[in-house]
């Protein structure tokens, strides 16, 4: 196996300890204290969005009202990660019914685009940008589905802050300015991008005021006319005309027939904590599969940062991602064995394939039939103890680059995640939902709400979901430390788009892992790289039922803020 060890000379490698004394003396991971509040909490990846959420809560809005308001705001202030041209998934804890609800608000492929046509063009995969990867934007319908069931305030009031900021402008934050500038060379060639997202012929810089009056108008139409404005009214007509002009396939019919789907969240018990995810077409159950495999190991005794922990984590991830490539897809087109994939029995069978002393170069997907042997994330909690875990994205940051005339947003490129290889679960078909990377998560204890969390970042997400849970349960970290702790990222597994794992992939570790760990991983056959990520973006809210307070945590790698009252 090829062994790669890339080290940055200026980075100091430090040992890791999690004792109480270390926390007191400042040696723990947390970049800041947890936020604690008695009534309500919001955690988003941008402070202005967090403040909008709190404003809605103070006006009497529900957690869902505040989440929608924050999501609309993030589509404006963080267009590098989301917007109403993308999709949405959510898990909601409803205090009245004492139940979790799941919403899959992902869009489908165009009726008029066929696999045969794509193959006739000589394509081996769907392009990442332009008209071909466009699928129906599901986010707006997701807002209205959530609002109808759990909202309190009128949508005019919920969307008012984002509309006002779009009209008046907001100062672009440093991180968003950086990603925006990086997107320009790729996206400026696509219709509508320069007109909306390059005022003065370039991306806005840190601190500059950016206005998006076209988006303000679109949001105002949605606020006044409801979801049908977007899917059957003026917005739908504008998208249809734009796509026809640009040689695309998404049509008025695709938009008019779009529906979201309420789904049952699925869970596994990890050492007394019930960890919840949504079933495919998303990748959430990968986190549950990883946790199931690792549950039989004494991770606490191994210690955070140890070679044993990293080795077992990476090997479990490799196993699970082979299943992810094989089985995760649109359940309307496939019989996906979800319960079998997340069962303890299946995990025990797969676990036996892990060599404790050697990294595997390849694994095959398992057969879960037991009888046979990639974004923004936000979470909000309100005074009534309702909690919402919501994730929303355009994919590839700003999406396709196509911005329909006068609408102020970019269409997503989720269709890129289909495979053009025939006979696979995720093979392209008309009116089909592609494999999805974005996943919200939730944790309960003894049937009571405990934690709403998520980590944005493509294939990083299920790996990071599992690590957050392990950091808290096995290594005793608090809510903020669990997100700030250095992350393990394995890249190069087989993909739902058809790529295969080669030579075991690559392990990349954030600064904070001891050199002795890296050296031992290489000796076990791991290819270890020193990389900048993507390590994801974390937000979380924990409910302390004994004290009746919320704890909030926000990602130190982004502009995020957790705040409450």
Q: What is the DSSP string of 372-389?
A: G---EEEEEE-TTS-EEE
In the predicted structure, residue 490 carries a pLDDT above the cut 80: yes
Q: Are 482 and 472 in contact (CB under 8 A)?
A: yes
Query: Could you write out the DSSP letters of every residue in 22-68?
Result: HHHTT-SS-SSPPEEESS-EEEESSHHHHHHHHHHHHTT--HHHHHH
Is pLDDT of 560 > 70?
yes
d(CA 100, CA 279): 14
Contact call for residues 271 and 473 (beta carbons, < 8 A)? yes
28 lies in which domain range? 1-565
Q: How many whole angstroms separate alpha carbon 62 and alpha carbon 151? A: 6
R_g over Cα of the chain: 22
Residue 130: is its pLDDT beyond 80? yes
What is the number of domains present in the chain? 1
Q: Is 419 a catalytic residue?
A: no
Q: Say which range, 313-327, 426-440, 517-531, has the weakest mean pLDDT.
A: 517-531
Full-model pTM: 0.93
Q: What is the mean pLDDT of the chain?
A: 92
The per-residue pLDDT for range 349-365, each reduced to its tens digit, is 999 999 999 998 878 77
Mean of the pLDDT values across residues 12-24? 37
- pLDDT tens for 152-206 read 999 999 999 999 999 999 999 999 999 999 999 999 999 999 999 999 999 999 9
pLDDT above 70 (res 497)? yes
Contact 410, 403 (CB under 8 A): yes
pLDDT of 362 reads 78
Cβ pair 285, 328 in contact under 8 A: yes
Cite the DSSP H helix spans in 425-514: 460-473, 479-484
pLDDT band at 1 (very low <50, low <70, confident <90, very high): very low
- Active-site choice (50, 135, 375, 506): 375
């Amino acid at each position: 196996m090829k062994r790669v060890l890339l080290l940055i000379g200026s980075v100091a490698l430090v040992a890791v300890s999690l004792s109480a004394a270390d926390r007191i003396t400042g040696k723990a991971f947390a970049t800041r204290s947890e936020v604690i509040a008695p009534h309500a909490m919001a955690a988003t990846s941008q402070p202005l969005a967090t403040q909008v959420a709190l404003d809605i809560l103070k006006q009497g809005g529900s957690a869902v009202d505040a989440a929608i308001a924050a999501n609309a705001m993030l589509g404006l202030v963080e267009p590098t990660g989301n917007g109403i041209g993308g999709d949405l998934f959510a898990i909601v804890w409803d205090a009245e019914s004492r139940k979790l609800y799941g919403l899959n608000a992902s869009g489908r492929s165009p009726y008029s685009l066929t696999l045969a046509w794509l193959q006739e063009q000589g394509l081996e995969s769907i392009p990442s940008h332009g008209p071909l990867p466009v699928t129906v934007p599901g986010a707006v319908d997701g807002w209205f589905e959530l609002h109808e069931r759990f909202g309190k305030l009128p949508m005019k009031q919920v969307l008012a802050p984002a509309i006002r900021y779009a009209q008046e402008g907001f100062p672009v934050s440093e991180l968003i300015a950086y990603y925006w500038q990086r997107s320009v060379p790729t996206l400026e060639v696509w219709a509508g991008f320069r007109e909306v997202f390059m005022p003065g012929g370039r991306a806005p810089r840190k601190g500059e005021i950016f206005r998006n009056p076209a988006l303000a108008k679109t949001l105002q139409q949605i606020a006044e006319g409801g979801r049908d404005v977007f899917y059957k009214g003026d917005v739908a007509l504008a998208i249809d005309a734009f796509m026809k002009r640009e040689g695309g396939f998404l049509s008025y019919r695709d938009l008019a027939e779009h529906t979201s789907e309420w789904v049952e969240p699925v869970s596994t018990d990890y050492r007394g904590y019930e960890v919840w995810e949504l079933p495919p077409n998303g990748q959430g159950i990968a986190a549950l599969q990883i946790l199931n495999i690792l549950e039989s190991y004494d991770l606490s005794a191994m210690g955070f940062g140890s070679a044993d922990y990293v080795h077992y984590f990476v090997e479990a991830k490799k196993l699970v991602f082979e299943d992810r490539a094989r089985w995760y897809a649109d359940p309307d087109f496939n019989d996906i064995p979800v319960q079998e994939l997340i069962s303890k029995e299946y995990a025990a069978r797969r676990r036996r394939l892990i060599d404790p002393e050697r990294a595997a170069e390849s694994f095959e997907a398992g057969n879960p039939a037991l009888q046979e042997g990639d974004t923004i994330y936000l979470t909000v909690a309100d005074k009534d103890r309702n909690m919402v875990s919501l994730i929303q994205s355009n994919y590839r940051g700003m999406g396709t680059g196509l911005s329909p005339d006068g609408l102020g947003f970019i269409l997503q490129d989720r269709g890129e995640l289909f495979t053009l290889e025939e006979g696979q679960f995720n093979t392209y078909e008309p009116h089909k939902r592609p494999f999805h990377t974005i996943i919200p998560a939730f944790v309960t204890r003894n049937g009571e709400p405990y934690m709403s969390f998520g980590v944005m970042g493509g294939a990083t997400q299920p790996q990071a979901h599992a690590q957050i849970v392990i950091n808290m349960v096995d290594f005793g970290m608090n809510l903020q430390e669990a997100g700030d702790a250095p992350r393990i990222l394995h890249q190069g597994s087989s993909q739902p788009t058809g790529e295969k794992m080669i030579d075991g992939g690559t392990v990349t570790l954030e600064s904070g892992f001891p050199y002795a760990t890296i050296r031992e991983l290489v000796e076990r056959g791991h290819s270890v790289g020193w990389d900048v990520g993507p390590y994801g973006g974390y937000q979380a809210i924990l409910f302390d039922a004994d004290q009746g307070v919320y704890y909030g945590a926000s990602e130190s790698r982004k502009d995020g803020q957790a705040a409450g009252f």
